[in-house]
């Protein structure tokens, strides 16, 4: 490690880099970081970079939630160790490189949670590959707050200045490519100011790293344009929500796709069917991880192209789990449950843990959805509130055992505090609904 750090310092210095940003995700998936002078990197690798552990338990508005081991322990330090294999030069910020750090003892680190799940699959000879698709809204100041950028309707899958007069997307895609995020491409989505950018397939940890960096980079680049990029699930009442779809395949050590079976039902191997059934079985608990905010549940519902029911279908985008038509090396499932606000590490960890449980239990999925979905008479409805989803997670001991009970406990405390804050807050809807007539 010391020799690698010395070599990296020399390489960065030769490139004119004198600052290294050491970043890590908190439980929400927000990037927390410190900027080190490059000559401090070897010491950081040896001793770690000190952060207050309570940063994992900090709300979006900066409140420290009393999760055990934080406030009650006197706000102790933790050590974040730079992972030099994740080092990348920031193309739009001269003289700056960035790398992801790991909590030394694992603890509640979302990256460590995913690492444990991936290691468990490896013991069975399974290596997951994941391709993330993330949507976001680009917003502009409007005096009272923010409004969608380029608000003209109907610019679905258009290119150039028609739906993007400032050329935000093409500049962003180029910067993300140069950061090494494995960008495949991007497009204007259904709603005004909404964009989607697709990332390439890779191993689950690398995929989550890239999705984490992607979200932080998009927000940074938007601010440089004088705009706001938000991965909030549903920022506007009158417009659609933003999803975070994950394509997952399972391969062996040689890279052979283990989900493909020409003779199997639907061209899928028993292994992949079991894995898919595991996602369905544990969907209520998964929802707490994949849809982690109060706002997330305003995305769900019939006729939204977002999930509402616990179902699956063959090339059917109205289902919670879609099996794309590709077979052979492209055989995979697409889990459409997560929304864009979710922490990529926890999305990947939860989905893969559920797949592992389905394989171990030999579960079989029901018949696939045919036609347009959203008929609640045919299958169970997903949890429709954060509280209901957290209750399901707290009750799913099998999923907890793979994610880590200490992590689940901390996550539940953090999120239930969010619910409590919301329930005490007087909203503009309440004033508009009641004040004049009551």
pLDDT at res. 159: 86
pLDDT at res. 67: 83
* Angstrom distance (rounded) from CA 72 to CA 61: 20
The beta-strand segments (E) located in 152-271 are 183-188, 194-199, 202-203, 228-230, 244-251
pLDDT at res. 41: 95
pLDDT of 1 above 80: no
Confidence of residue 153 (pLDDT cuts 50, 70, 90): confident
Contact 334, 321 (CB under 8 A): yes
pLDDT at res. 390: 98
184-238 pLDDT, tens per residue? Answer: 999 999 999 999 999 999 999 999 999 999 999 999 999 999 999 999 999 999 9
CATH topology for 114-428 is: Creatine Kinase; Chain A, domain 2 (3.30.590)
87-111 pLDDT, tens per residue? Answer: 999 999 999 999 999 998 877 899 9
- In degrees and rounded to multiples of 5, residue 99 shows phi and psi of -150, 160
* Angstrom distance (rounded) from CA 136 to CA 229: 7
Q: Bin 424: left if φ > 0, else alpha if -120 < ψ < 50, else beta.
A: alpha
Q: What's the whole-number mean pLDDT along residues 411-429? A: 95
31-80 pLDDT, tens per residue? Answer: 999 999 999 999 999 999 999 888 888 888 888 888 887 778 888 899 99
278-332 pLDDT, tens per residue? Answer: 999 999 999 999 999 999 999 998 888 899 999 999 999 999 999 999 999 999 9
Q: Which residue intervals of the chain bear CATH 3.30.590.10?
A: 114-428
* Angstrom distance (rounded) from CA 59 to CA 68: 15
187 beta partners: 196
Contact 202, 130 (CB under 8 A): yes
Q: Which long-range contacts (CB under 8 A, 24 or more apart) does 317-322 make?
A: 318/369, 318/372, 318/373, 318/374, 319/368, 319/369, 319/373, 320/280, 320/283, 320/382, 321/276, 321/279, 321/280
Query: What is the torsional sign of CA 160, 165, 171, 173?
Result: negative
pLDDT at res. 361: 98
CA distances from 163 to 91, 141, 159, 244 (A): 26, 18, 7, 22
Give the pTM: 0.96
| CA–CA–CA angle 358, 363, 365 (5° rounding) | 105
State what percent of residues in the chain have pLDDT above 90: 85
Q: For the domain covering 1-102, report its CATH number.
A: 3.10.20.70
Average pLDDT for the chain: 94
* Angstrom distance (rounded) from CA 10 to CA 62: 37
Confidence of residue 398 (pLDDT cuts 50, 70, 90): very high
**Tally of CB atoms within 10 A around 92:** 15
Q: Which residue intervals of the chain bear CATH 3.10.20.70?
A: 1-102
* Angstrom distance (rounded) from CA 31 to CA 184: 23
Higher pLDDT: 64 or 113? It is 113
Q: Which long-range contacts (CB under 8 A, 24 or more apart) does 9-14 make?
A: 9/38, 9/39, 9/41, 9/42, 12/38, 12/87, 12/89, 12/97, 13/38
328-352 pLDDT, tens per residue? Answer: 999 999 999 999 999 999 999 999 9
pLDDT at res. 72: 80
**Burial label, 346 (beta-carbon count in 10 A; 0-12, 13-18, 19+):** buried
Q: Which of 250, 262, 402, 241 is nearest to 333 (CA)?
A: 250
pLDDT at res. 123: 96
Q: What's the whole-number mean pLDDT along residues 251-270? A: 94
Q: Which residues contact 72 (CB under 8 A, 6 or more apart)?
A: 66
Q: What's the whole-number mean pLDDT along residues 366-374? A: 89
Confidence of residue 3 (pLDDT cuts 50, 70, 90): confident
When mean pLDDT is compared across 32-36, 75-79, 112-116, 418-422, the lowest value belongs to 75-79
pLDDT at res. 133: 95
């Amino acid at each position: 490690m010391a020799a690698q750090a010395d070599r990296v310092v020399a390489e960065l210095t030769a490139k004119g880099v004198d600052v290294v940003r050491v970043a890590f995700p908190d439980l929400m998936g927000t990037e927390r970081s410190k900027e080190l002078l490059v000559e401090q990197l070897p010491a950081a690798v040896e001793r770690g970079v000190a952060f207050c552990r309570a940063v994992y338990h900090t709300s979006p508005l900066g409140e420290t939630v009393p999760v055990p081991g934080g406030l009650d322990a006197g706000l102790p330090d933790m050590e974040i160790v730079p992972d030099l294999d994740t080092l990348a030069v920031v193309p739009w910020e001269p003289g700056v490189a960035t790398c992801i750090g790991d909590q030394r003892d694992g603890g509640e680190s979302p990256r460590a949670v995913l690492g444990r799940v991936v290691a468990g699959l490896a013991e069975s000879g399974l290596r997951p590959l994941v391709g993330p698709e993330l949507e976001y809204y680009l917003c502009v100041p409007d005096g009272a707050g923010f409004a969608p950028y380029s608000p003209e309707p109907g610019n679905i899958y258009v290119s150039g200045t028609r739906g993007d007069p400032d050329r935000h997307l093409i500049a962003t895609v180029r910067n993300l490519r140069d950061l090494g995020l494995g960008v495949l491409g991007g497009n204007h989505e259904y709603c005004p100011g909404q964009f989607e950018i697709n990332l390439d397939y890779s191993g689950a940890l690398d995929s989550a790293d890239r999705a984490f960096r992607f979200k932080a980079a998009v927000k940074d680049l938007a601010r440089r344009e004088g705009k706001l990029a938000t991965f909030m699930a549903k920022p506007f009442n009158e417009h659609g929500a933003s999803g975070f779809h994950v394509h997952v395949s399972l391969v062996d050590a040689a890279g052979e796709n283990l989900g493909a079976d020409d003779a199997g039902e639907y061209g899928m191997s028993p292994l992949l069917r079991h894995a898919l059934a595991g996602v369905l079985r544990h969907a209520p608990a998964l929802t707490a991880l994949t849809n982690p905010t109060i706002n997330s549940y305003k995305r769900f519902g019939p006729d939204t192209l977002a999930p509402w029911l616990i179902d699956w279908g063959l090339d059917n985008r109205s289902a919670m789990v879609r099996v794309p038509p590709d077979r052979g090396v492209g055989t995979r499932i697409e889990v459409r449950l997560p929304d864009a606000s979710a922490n990529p590490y926890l999305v990947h960890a939860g989905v893969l843990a559920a797949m592992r449980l389905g394989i171990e239990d030999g579960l079989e999925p029901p018949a696939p959805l045919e036609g347009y979905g959203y008929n609640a008479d045919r299958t169970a409805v997903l949890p429709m509130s954060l509280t209901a989803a957290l209750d399901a997670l707290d009750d799913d001991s099998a999923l907890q055992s793979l994610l880590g009970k200490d992590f689940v406990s901390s996550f539940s405390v953090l999120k239930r505090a969010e619910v409590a804050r919301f329930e005490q807050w007087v909203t503009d809807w309440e004033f508009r609904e009641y004040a004049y007539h009551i």
